[in-house]
């Protein structure tokens, strides 16, 4: 009997150990918006089983702007977020205990997008005009810098917030006599065309002195301190996923289509997603990332962006650029 008890006890112990080894960490990723092409890498990583191989059960949730996404990480609703690095700096400088653990869009894709029938040919023509945006959009962060460098002031532009899901439709309708909107050249031109609009006139922020880090992965500083292994596994799986996406973007788009379904799974939806993804893939590495290491937070890029925010966005002049990111999890 004693021998049998020992056998049973050993079997129970083995089962418990096996179960523990097989257990996955539940992780919630918060996107900056509803799914669009730039997010395909996350979907592809999940579809390929890269997160599962890393011991992660990944729950991908849509968002309502970069600031909102990072804020949901800061308050513990989500474990990681994909959002504007400028929005991260703003929140972190206000006391949010968040940090970038990896960069996806290494360069900014933000712009003023204007309807071609508006008569606006150069940025100075926007004086006295109305532009649309959404309250939590990361694209709002550097807009004052663009205006200043273009010889305009915030008082020269009527910047109006509209509901998150109504931005492009309001733009196309010229709601309230709006001539354009703030948005990313990664997703918004493709969305405009998909909804029957003509290609917009584009004034990229980069043409007006805004050299910024684009979109990064944020997490809480306490997660970095208390569970660095989880952060390492998540970042590694994510960077593998985007490397695989770079190698086969169509497969990534198909993976996202399978997850989201609806119009995104139709040919036109896939074509739109691919057009958006192509822009993101073109921004994976900044010029300063000479080794082309995917995900790398490049010190000089962050220094340049933070310097702009100190000059134009009232960022604390003593803010240390290196305090907003870490490369400890980039292999």
pLDDT, tens digit, 9 for 90 and up, residues 96-140: 999 999 999 999 889 999 999 999 999 999 999 999 999 978 889
From the list 289, 257, 279, the residue with the least C-alpha distance to 47 is: 257
Query: Where are the CATH 3.40.190.10 domain residues in the chain?
Result: 24-107+213-324, 110-208
Give yes or no for residue 237 having a pLDDT over 80. Answer: yes
pLDDT at residue 22, as a whole number: 56
pLDDT at residue 7, as a whole number: 36
Give yes or no for residue 75 having a pLDDT over 90. Answer: yes
Give yes or no for residue 20 having a pLDDT over 70. Answer: no
Q: What confidence category does residue 186 fall into, taking pLDDT thresholds of 50, 70 and 90? A: confident
CB-count exposure of residue 189 (10 Å: 0-12, 13-18, 19+): buried
CA 128 to CA 107: how far, in whole Å?
Answer: 30
Residue of higher predicted confidence among 240 and 18: 240
pLDDT at residue 204, as a whole number: 93
Is the domain defined by 24-107+213-324 classed in CATH 1.20.120.1200?
A: no
pLDDT at residue 53, as a whole number: 98
Residue of higher predicted confidence among 10 and 124: 124
Q: What confidence category does residue 187 fall into, taking pLDDT thresholds of 50, 70 and 90? A: confident
Q: What confidence category does residue 312 fall into, taking pLDDT thresholds of 50, 70 and 90? A: confident
Residues 6 or more apart whose Cβ sits within 8 Å of residue 14: none
CA 95 to CA 7: how far, in whole Å?
Answer: 55
pLDDT at residue 9, as a whole number: 41
Residue 111 β-bridge partners: 183, 204
95: left (phi over 0), alpha (psi -120 to 50) or beta: left
pLDDT at residue 138, as a whole number: 82
pLDDT at residue 18, as a whole number: 40
176-190 average pLDDT score: 92
- Predicted confidence (pLDDT) per residue in 188-219, tens digit: 998 999 899 999 999 999 899 888 999 999 99
User: Per the confidence metrics, is the pTM higher than 0.75?
Assistant: yes
- Predicted confidence (pLDDT) per residue in 240-265, tens digit: 999 999 999 999 999 999 999 999 99
CB-count exposure of residue 284 (10 Å: 0-12, 13-18, 19+): buried
Give yes or no for residue 70 having a pLDDT over 60. Answer: yes
57-70 average pLDDT score: 95
Give yes or no for residue 19 having a pLDDT over 60. Answer: no
Report yes or no: 91 and 74 within 8 Å, Cβ to Cβ. yes
Tokens at residue 161, please? 């917030």
Q: Which of 83-87, 137-141, 150-154 is predicted least confidently?
A: 137-141
From the list 320, 245, 315, the residue with the least C-alpha distance to 87 is: 315
CA dihedral 203, 147, 208, 273 (to 10 degrees): -40
Strands, E assignment, the chain: 25-30, 56-61, 80-84, 98-105, 110-114, 130-133, 158-161, 178-184, 201-204, 215-220
Superfamily of domain 110-208: Periplasmic binding protein-like II (3.40.190.10)
Mean of per-residue pLDDT scores for the chain = 91
Give yes or no for residue 38 having a pLDDT over 80. Answer: yes
From the list 38, 59, 77, 80, the residue with the least C-alpha distance to 241 is: 38
Q: What confidence category does residue 62 fall into, taking pLDDT thresholds of 50, 70 and 90? A: very high
Give yes or no for residue 163 having a pLDDT over 60. Answer: yes
């Amino acid at each position: 009997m004693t021998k049998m008890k020992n056998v049973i006890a050993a079997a129970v112990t083995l089962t418990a150990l096996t179960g523990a080894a097989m257990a996955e960490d539940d992780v919630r990723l918060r996107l900056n918006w509803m799914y669009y092409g730039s997010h395909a890498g996350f979907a592809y990583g999940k579809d390929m089983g890269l997160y599962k191989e890393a011991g992660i059960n990944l729950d991908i949730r849509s968002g309502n702007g970069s600031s909102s996404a990072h804020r949901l990480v800061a308050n513990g609703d989500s474990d990681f977020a994909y959002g504007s690095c400028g929005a991260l700096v703003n929140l972190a400088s206000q006391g949010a205990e968040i940090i970038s653990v990896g960069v996806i869009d290494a360069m900014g894709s933000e712009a003023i997008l204007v309807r071609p029938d508006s008569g606006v040919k150069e940025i100075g023509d926007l004086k006295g005009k109305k532009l649309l945006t959404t309250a939590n959009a990361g694209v709002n962060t550097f807009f004052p810098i663009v205006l200043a460098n273009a010889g305009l002031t915030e008082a020269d532009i009527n910047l109006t917030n509209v509901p998150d899901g109504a931005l492009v439709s309001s733009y196309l309708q010229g709601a309230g006599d709006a001539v354009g909107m703030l948005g990313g050249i990664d997703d918004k031109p493709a969305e405009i065309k998909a909804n029957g609009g003509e290609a917009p006139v584009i004034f990229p922020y980069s043409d007006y002195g805004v050299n910024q880090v684009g979109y990064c992965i944020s997490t809480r500083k306490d997660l970095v301190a208390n569970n660095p292994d989880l952060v390492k596994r998540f970042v590694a799986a994510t960077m593998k996923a985007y490397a695989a996406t770079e190698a086969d973007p169509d497969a990534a788009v198909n993976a996202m289509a399978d997850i989201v379904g609806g119009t995104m799974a139709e040919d036109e939806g896939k074509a739109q997603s691919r057009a958006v993804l192509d822009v993101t893939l073109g921004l994976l590495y900044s010029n300063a990332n000479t080794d082309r290491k995917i995900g790398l937070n490049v010190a000089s890029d962050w220094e340049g962006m933070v310097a702009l925010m100190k000059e134009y966005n009232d960022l604390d002049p003593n803010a240390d650029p290196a305090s907003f990111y870490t490369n400890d999890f980039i292999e």
